[in-house]
Amino acid sequence: MLTCFIRYHIDPTKKAAFEEYARNWGQAIPRCGANLFGYFSPHEGSTTLAYGVYSIENLAAYEAYRDRLAADPLGRENYKFALSEKFILREDRTFLKLASAPHATGEENK
């Protein structure tokens, strides 16, 4: 299992638009096959950093998921919305795998 962390640099004057974008992904991403943990918008501290986090089985599954997302009506509209409103200034994706399992059970030493 891989977890994708998306770090967004957003226009702080367009936080409401980012939150609408996040709500749309909240519907489209699970429908297209990824396990969405959530989208997070600035609250305290930085006004420009936001995050999206989801898991997918592997990189092959990710490619198929991206194709489904691009074909999804809400997915297509959300991409267009982000481009037209220009609230995302930068987007970085990092894929990580869980390294701490099993969490403090001691099983890793057996």
H/E stretch holding 35: strand 35-40
pLDDT tens for residues 90-105? 999 999 998 887 765 5
pLDDT tens for residues 38-75? 999 999 999 999 999 999 999 999 999 999 999 999 99
As a whole number of angstroms, the distance between CA 97 and CA 15 comes to: 30
- In the chain the domains, ranked by start, together with CATH numbers, are 2-97 (3.30.70.100)
